[in-house]
Chain A
């Protein structure tokens, strides 16, 4: 008689070394693994708690400046190099791998107003309060490293600079917006709209011929290098400080405003912010997009940094330290992992973009576990306990009290408006959405165009 026996090759389930992974034979019969949802909920809760436990975002502080850091610039070809300018006119080049300053240049007298890096990464350009534009080499070891490659003395003071993303063109802003060629000492083109001075300028990284500037008359102006005049303008209730373009979406940009908010616009519809990002307790001084275009970081006068999702109105993260003062400039590294902030107390700080993330390369199993935990957190995000734990942040008392006060004010205003609406003739008190509330007007309106049409 022949007896048939189930047999397995030990090689299939035994491991040769202890580092090998067991091949686990599993039975996926759901009857054997009951309580899926409760068990996963517990796992999600634990993952959320652990995330808060491991949330240690601060990595390093780069100190060396002898005055407030007022501008920063990322090298466009190297991840580990940044340039920073301070209020005493000094520019420093940093290597982030060992957090060292590799050179300090006494570049300007007075503030360094702006630094920008050429797309090929060989040179960077700075403007300062001494009415000069200076070109520098990024190579710290070259003979020319301590002297500017080129110095252009200008008639007026420039307050900002940005380089074109592809061509050897850069733009400066001050009394006018000037477009320069890298090789020429006179502006190629001059844009002027109104008499107010321009605070900042930023080139579109996708549609590279467009740029946007913020003006002291509370407006944001759109330029197209192919046209001879500025294209459009939107005026907000308060002044915008800086504008950052979304590097993945050609028509979206975000403006950091004095009214503690950030406004994301679609350039095709400037009379309506596509999103209002609230959470800061004071004027927002700088904003920079993550290279993935999904998030951006903002630095504020309230001594904190916040990270916002592009499509969310509330921040997902707030970073602050006891010693960090007003944050003048923030940057998001080009590998989407780090955030840099330069602040009033002369330090540049290096942060993790995701506070609880483990740095460095993860083993495949670590990666899988992290992915699973993230998925669980997302899946159970609406559960009150998980929501509470994951949203909980400690903020300094000043910020906390200001935010509380703001909330009270906002509530009372809303209540007042509701009452007004309830007690007046229907239709007389229109409901203005938050996204349109802060915008005064635009230069070219949709209605304007329609009127024209009706005339023809």
Chain B
């Protein structure tokens, strides 16, 4: 139809279109003529505000849904051959439309952005994980962290690399040091000045100078070689000669050299008899085979020994002869006994009361007599000999004699010896040294008392306590011993002649003791008194008694369930039958063996002690799982009593140490540790646990955000 209309247009040569034809055309196109005239408005003027509504084409026919469809236009293509371009265009139009979604609302967009930012922030922060973990676990941290070790600047650094302003003096020095031509240079052999000098020399002068230098160098090396050679020579004689020559050169006086030689010879001679000398060593090898050298060696040895004996002071010679007897008198028991006696003052000691009487008598004798005796040693010796013999005779009689007779005899015999000892003792005491001695005794007493109690008192328990036969003798004896012990200490230290009389008296006392040992009954007497003295201190027996009581007390008791009178005739005085007793008595099980069964000297209590329990840990504290582990940490000591200083230092190292007066700045990026964990979300993963492949999901999320246009 369209073609027809077009043809008709062509046929009208004038270009006039008949009304009919025009209307049919319009109809065929679906255009309403009247409406078109109404709606189509053309803008004739340019105005500022252009209404959106006035533009655009309204549909020609409202009933027709107002659109030109493709099939309506296709007829116009009839007869046209080249429509490929059009086809393409149509295909492009036909394709499904791609359009952007409306942008997200602000809160939603922000929420998403926030998530991304938060992820980023946690990732950056997670880089610190390694550092933080390391610091948390560290045994010791020293703040400020990253302290640079102290370094001492070299002079160059200090002088020339100073950033501060220099003082005029420093500037001067620097100028001098820097610009000076005389200075040695690191990379050159010669300084600038020397080089310059060399360059300024003429050729001949330079040659001469070089030759001179060469000569000098050669001489030096010769000298060096000579010295080295001489040093290697082993001959002593040669060196001696050289030394002498040198001395001669230094001081040309021949006399001096001679004198020096003589001195040396004397010195060498004085060392002749030294044991292990070179000569002796050499001789020893030959001595095995040669009698003569052996004899020589022996003589040498003898001589050496002679020389080695230290010249003793006069007084001590006697002592050395006497002392060996002293230890014999001071046995285990005797020793303790003496010290015990010494501790008590004489007046207060009841069993020394008799001696105190005698000492009172003795005190009548003045000190002058003693000093006189000191001077005349020979007399005393005689006296002592007499006394000892008299004692011997008295002791032989003693067995037969009665107590009364003893009382009378003893003071008469003993008085003199006792006097001397007492006086000597008092003298020593007054000299001030006695105090130290007594202190020692007290100490020793503490140590020995137990032992003494063990041995003495137990041994002689069976003896009758009432029968103290010879109090006088004993009391008379004890002061002697006291002075002996005192003397022993004093004479060792001083060795002066002052103590001569006492020393001689020792001999008497030792004689006395010797007799004691022979005579059993007398020893018993002494022990009796010891027992008497320490009657209250029976520690061992007390202890064993206490222990027995404890053991008995801790034993489980038998339980008797028998009821007297039950199933029998009752009444007063009913005794349950044996059978019944046997039947109803539940025997207690024997207790587990005590830990201290075989230990006499200890009581081991295995019961719980409330006083101690107050200090003990009841439950295993938190980080520990096993009580053994906890106990091990407690048992291991950290103190210097048990550990070496370095171990103590490492054991007691504090967790945090700070430098006094230093600002501790926050963690710096320099101290950041490389993170071991590759997954940046490691932290979260730990806590969240079961979530998988977080990173892949995150990537997806990022992609999605990109699509949404949010970066």
Contacts and interface: CB of A to CB of B under 8 A. Distances in A.
B124 A207 contact: yes
B114 interface: yes
B621 interface: yes
Nearest to B653: A371
A7 interface: no
A379 B667 contact: no
A380 B117 CA distance: 48
Given A374-B652, A450-B691, A379 B634 contact: yes
A336 B125 contact: no
A294 B137 CA distance: 12
Given A227-B117, A229-B110, A40 B638 contact: yes
A453 B141 contact: no
B641 A453 contact: no
Nearest to A311: B136
Given A37-B634, A40-B638, A385-B615, A230 B651 contact: no
A244 to B, nearest CB: 12
Contact of B662 (A77, A228, A269, A335): A335
A423 to B, nearest CB: 30
B652 A371 contact: yes
Given A446-B688, A453-B700, A379 B633 contact: yes
A33 interface: yes
A124 interface: no
Given A251-B128, A335-B662, A380-B634, A291 B615 contact: no
A372 interface: yes
Interface in B121-139: 121-122, 124-126, 128, 132, 135
B684 A268 contact: yes
Contact of B125 (A207, A294, A380, A448): A207
Interface string A16-34: 0000000000001010010
Interface in A253-303: 266-269, 272, 291-294
B384 to A, nearest CB: 37
A206 to B, nearest CB: 5
Interface in A134-148: none
Contact of A269 (B141, B630, B655, B687): B687
B701 interface: yes
B59 to A, nearest CB: 43
A248 B141 CA distance: 12
A277 B132 CA distance: 21
B338 to A, nearest CB: 31
A371 B140 CA distance: 12
A247 B666 contact: yes
Contacts of A222: 118, 121
Contact of A2 (B117, B276, B642, B651): B276
A115 interface: no
Contact of B114 (A272, A337, A443): A443
Nearest to B620: A382
B661 A229 contact: no
A437 interface: no
A291 B664 CA distance: 6
A332 B653 CA distance: 24
Contacts of A453: 697, 700-701
Interface string B673-693: 000000000011001100100
A11 interface: no
Interface residues of A, number: 68
A196 B170 CA distance: 65
B47 interface: no
Contacts of A41: 615
A149 interface: no
Contacts, number: 182
B642 A33 contact: yes
Contacts of A374: 652, 654
Nearest to B682: A268
Contact of B667 (A36, A250, A368, A443): A250
Given A222-B121, A268-B684, A449 B666 contact: no
A291 to B, nearest CB: 4
B374 interface: no
Interface string A364-377: 00001001101110
Nearest to B693: A453
Given A248-B132, A453-B700, A210 B121 contact: yes
A443 B666 CA distance: 29
A368 B652 contact: yes
Contacts of B656: 292, 294, 336
A320 interface: no
Interface string B643-664: 1100011011111101111111
B215 interface: no
B578 to A, nearest CB: 53
Contacts of B648: 368, 372
A314 interface: no
B642 A30 contact: yes
B683 A266 contact: yes
B644 A28 contact: yes
Contacts of A368: 648-649, 652
B661 A79 contact: yes
Contact of B664 (A40, A272, A334): A334
B642 A361 contact: no
B458 to A, nearest CB: 29
B635 interface: yes
Contacts of A248: 132, 135, 666-667
Interface string A422-453: 00000000000000000000011010111011
Nearest to B127: A250
B616 interface: yes
Interface in A329-384: 334-337, 360-361, 368, 371-372, 374-376, 379-380, 382-384
Contacts of A308: none
Contacts of B94: none
Interface string B696-711: 0100110010000000
A224 B117 contact: yes
Given A248-B132, A446-B688, A229 B113 contact: yes
Contacts of B128: 206-207, 249-251
B692 to A, nearest CB: 10
A2 B126 contact: no
A334 B663 contact: yes
A165 interface: yes
A454 to B, nearest CB: 9
Given A267-B122, A269-B684, A444 B658 contact: no
Contacts of B652: 368, 371-372, 374-375
A224 B119 CA distance: 11
Given A249-B128, A294-B656, A383-B616, A36 B642 contact: yes
Contacts of B667: 205-206, 247-250, 293
A189 to B, nearest CB: 14
Given A222-B118, A251-B122, A371-B652, 15 more contacts: A36-B641, A206-B128, A229-B114, A229-B117, A232-B114, A250-B132, A268-B125, A269-B684, A372-B652, A379-B638, A382-B617, A382-B630, A383-B615, A453-B697, A456-B700
4 closest Cβ pairs, A-B complex: A205-B666, A291-B664, A247-B666, A36-B637
7 contacts: A206-B666, A207-B125, A248-B132, A291-B143, A291-B666, A335-B662, A456-B697
Interface of A: 1-2, 28, 30, 33, 36-37, 39-41, 43, 76-77, 79, 165, 205-207, 210, 222, 224, 227-232, 247-251, 266-269, 272, 291-294, 334-337, 360-361, 368, 371-372, 374-376, 379-380, 382-385, 443-444, 446, 448-450, 452-453, 456
